[in-house]
Structure 1
Amino acid sequence: MIETLLENFTPENNITIWLVAAFVIAFFVAYQTFPTILYVAKEKHLMDEPDSRSVHSDKTPTLGGIGIFVGLIVVMTIIGAFLNTKVLLLIMGGLTILFFLGLKDDLTVLSAGKKFMGQLLAAGLLIVFTNTRIIGFSMIMEIDILPYWISIIFTLFVYILIINAYNLIDGVDGLAGTIALCVSGIFVYLFVNAHELSLATIAIALCGCLLAFLRLNFSSRNKIFMGDTGSMIVGFLLAFFTISFINMAQLDGSSPYFRASPALAFALLFYPLMDTLRIFFLRIVVHKTSPFKADKNHVHHRFLRSGYSHLMTTILISGINVVIIGIAFNLLHLNLNTQIILLLLYGSVLYVLPFLIKKIH
């Protein structure tokens, strides 16, 4: 009976059941994994020690990325046989590389150079062996198709940018997880519409893992951080989703996102990219220091200093990012350069509003 069911079952004809199953498996596995991680972290004293940059006063486990990784790998292993196994295996390879690099960084210390090389290796595997890359600028500043090697190098740059931009916003309870949850949910919608079930499955599995993680990340008694392990693998997947979406749109002239995919991708990740650009500007131009020197000048730090709680900061930043994405979807008919200029304008204004409202009150 089971053999007959497996032979006749096709995910494409049962998309809703398939995606719900992937979500439930990922959530359940991660949900059951986190208590064990908490127990081991506390017993072995694998905790984050608060320092001058911390916004927490208590020691907290930083191994939440393990639960996210396990949930993703279990989903891809169990249901991978039905999908594009080449893509899944390469993603699993990239995730594994970053998982062990992040774990070493969370447990001891890993140099920025080694992390950078690991990120390049993980991204390079996917770019070269799946040929998933940004093939052009879609006429941004009148630039269309890029030469192959420039396309490779630019795509690698985008991977590194997104992975590290995502890592930089992991400074407030729930913020990184909530942003990734919202963005991954939208990618599920985009990939289903593009008939890319393998990518939709990974995206919804990530949603399940993140939802299980956020339960503890918001907790006051059993709090856990995703750490570098989590931020690198989640950032890597968000970068892969972004580049895959742009690549699919650029190769499909009938796609509604054919010319608009770069603007929509920028909107999806507006907060981490905007915050990274802003923090680098402050460090290099204003403070005359290294762009990689950690400080407390991120937008989420400004929210906290203005009197917003961790929860309110996360709600406001995530909510604004969702509004920005909603506006971007409604501007797809405009010229791409116009979309990007407007995005920079209304995105910046929306993130200034909470501070103006706070001053008025």
Structure 2
Amino acid sequence: MKNFELFLAQSGLPIFYIKIGLGFLFSFLITFFSIPTILRISRKKNLMDEPGIRSSHLRKIANLGGIAIFYSIGICAPIFAYELFDLYKFLFASLVILLYVGVMDDIVVMRAYKKLVAQVVVSCLVVIGSDIRIRNLFGIFGIYEINYFVSVVFSIITFIILINAFNLIDGIDGLAGGYSLVCSSLFGISYYRLGSYNYPLVILSVIIIGSVLAFLYYNLSNYRSSKIFMGDTGSMLLGFLLAFTSISFIDIFIDKNIPNIPRYHLKSAPVVAVAILILPIVDTLNVIIIRLINKKSPFDADRNHIHHKLLKLNLTHRRSSGYIILYYLFIVGLAYLLRHTNVNLLLFIILFLGFFGAYIPHFIYTLRHIKNTKN
């Protein structure tokens, strides 16, 4: 890798910006040219997603797009952001495990407990093995530094929740991909502003952006022959990586007394991370609450997700995804403007607006129904 950096340095441009450009370019191209092959194999072997109770599509669609996303990230990240894999020894192993479990589930549909076991394993690998964990809540509910054991358990649960939450929002074209694009962009910009020590995380964010952009070209295609879903493979990989980047973001603001590495302090760091990931968090909590109120299992499939409510208003997949992403971007912007506000007050505002947004489609549908009844 040192020889590679020496080769890049001879161009006269800063190595970091060359890595950014090449990382984005190659991640985009690898995904873009991998998907047509995956589509051909999926059709030939009939590896297609069948419409079900939660499905928003009416025909069989290939659902192995996550393989291309992994292929792209798995090649580009070790080349352009290899420092991450030196620092976090179990990161790549975790991605490989999720790839295997995701592909198995997309092809033969695994039992939920088997997927959960795999998620627990990868979460333990990065939390315990790579020491990626939430160490401090900066005063949320009066909690500051967390005991090591509690920190490990809390972080593992956070990883599992975010992996599954991201999987749940992957219900319509463009939503999971578009939202991961937004989250990666926001985390990437934040890491860039926080200094050169975080540049490998910036490059990882850019690689994710390039890969997801290429995937969205096919996912949002109007032609059935070129359309593809990311499947559980893609949603679990992206959910895991966003959990990894969000926890790393919170960890940056903790004074670890490491020499030659600048530390930062932002009391609202955990809330800002919650704001960036507000959609999967709120959507998951909302559907679980609804199922419990209706005395159903939290794991039962239904159509109470935010995107299902927007489709009920006869919106297209693209418009539904666009409206959802724009609304939750507004929440992120507000969190940034109020980042120096009391951390508990800010958390309340973010969660309130998050849940309020989840019910806006329901309010509109009810008003339409009342209006139509009167007419």
Same fold (TM over 0.5): yes
Q: CA deviation at 1:54?
A: 1.7
Matching of residue 24 in structure 1 with residue 25 in structure 2 = yes
What SS does the aligned partner of 2:212 have? helix
User: 1:276 aligns to what?
Assistant: 284
Are residues 110 and 140 of structure 1, via their aligned partners in 2, closer, same or farther at CA, if it must alter by over 3 Å?
Answer: same
Rounded to whole Å, the distance in 2 between the matches of 1:192 and 1:16 is 11
Equivalent AA in structure 1 for residue 313 of structure 2: S
Matching of residue 226 in structure 1 with residue 230 in structure 2 = yes
Rounded to whole Å, the distance in 2 between the matches of 1:283 and 1:5 is 53
What SS does the aligned partner of 2:144 have? strand
Q: CA deviation at 1:5?
A: 6.6
Contact kept in structure 2, 1:48 and 1:60, CA below 8 Å: yes
Contact kept in structure 1, 2:177 and 2:216, CA below 8 Å: yes
Rounded to whole Å, the distance in 2 between the matches of 1:226 and 1:48 is 11
Contact kept in structure 1, 2:8 and 2:18, CA below 8 Å: no
Equivalent AA in structure 2 for residue 321 of structure 1: Y
User: 1:15 aligns to what?
Assistant: 16
User: 1:153 aligns to what?
Assistant: 153
User: 2:304 aligns to what?
Assistant: 297
User: 2:79 aligns to what?
Assistant: 78
User: 1:203 aligns to what?
Assistant: 205
User: 1:133 aligns to what?
Assistant: 133
Are residues 238 and 5 of structure 1, via their aligned partners in 2, closer, same or farther at CA, if it must alter by over 3 Å?
Answer: closer
Contact kept in structure 2, 1:80 and 1:88, CA below 8 Å: no
- Report the count of equivalent residues: 358
Q: CA deviation at 1:126?
A: 1.4
1:314 maps to which of 309, 314, 321: 321
Contact kept in structure 2, 1:252 and 1:258, CA below 8 Å: no
Rounded to whole Å, the distance in 2 between the matches of 1:299 and 1:351 is 6
User: 1:33 aligns to what?
Assistant: 34
2:241 maps to which of 237, 251, 272: 237
Contact kept in structure 2, 1:76 and 1:88, CA below 8 Å: no
Aligned-residue RMSD, C-alpha:
2.4
Rounded to whole Å, the distance in 1 between the matches of 2:52 and 2:93 is 34
Which runs of structure 2 are paired with 1:141-180 in the superposition (5 Å)? 141-180=141-180
Equivalent AA in structure 2 for residue 27 of structure 1: F
Rounded to whole Å, the distance in 1 between the matches of 2:215 and 2:341 is 38
TM-score, reference length from structure 1:
0.93
Rounded to whole Å, the distance in 2 between the matches of 1:346 and 1:252 is 34
Are residues 244 and 144 of structure 1, via their aligned partners in 2, closer, same or farther at CA, if it must alter by over 3 Å?
Answer: same
Rounded to whole Å, the distance in 2 between the matches of 1:219 and 1:79 is 30
TM-score, reference length from structure 2:
0.89
Equivalent AA in structure 2 for residue 51 of structure 1: G
Bigger drift between 251-260 and 217-226 goes to 251-260
Q: CA deviation at 1:187?
A: 0.9
Q: CA deviation at 1:97?
A: 0.3
What SS does the aligned partner of 2:139 have? strand
Equivalent AA in structure 1 for residue 275 of structure 2: A
What SS does the aligned partner of 1:250 have? coil
Rounded to whole Å, the distance in 2 between the matches of 1:129 and 1:120 is 13
User: 2:255 aligns to what?
Assistant: 251
Matching of residue 69 in structure 1 with residue 80 in structure 2 = no
Are residues 27 and 283 of structure 1, via their aligned partners in 2, closer, same or farther at CA, if it must alter by over 3 Å?
Answer: same
Deviations, residues 169-227 of structure 1 (Å, cap 9, x unaligned): 01011100000000001111112222312211111111111000001111121110000
Rounded to whole Å, the distance in 2 between the matches of 1:301 and 1:252 is 44
Q: CA deviation at 1:117?
A: 1.3
Rounded to whole Å, the distance in 2 between the matches of 1:267 and 1:255 is 22
Contact kept in structure 2, 1:163 and 1:235, CA below 8 Å: yes
Bigger drift between 183-192 and 98-107 goes to 183-192
What SS does the aligned partner of 1:110 have? coil
Contact kept in structure 1, 2:70 and 2:99, CA below 8 Å: yes
Deviations, residues 300-353 of structure 1 (Å, cap 9, x unaligned): 101101221111100000111111111110001101001111112333344544
Equivalent AA in structure 1 for residue 69 of structure 2: I
Are residues 7 and 309 of structure 1, via their aligned partners in 2, closer, same or farther at CA, if it must alter by over 3 Å?
Answer: closer
Contact kept in structure 2, 1:184 and 1:203, CA below 8 Å: yes
Q: CA deviation at 1:255?
A: 6.1
Q: Which runs of 5 or more structure 1 residues have no equivalent in the other structure?
A: none
Q: Which runs of 5 or more structure 2 residues have no equivalent in the other structure?
A: none
What SS does the aligned partner of 2:208 have? helix
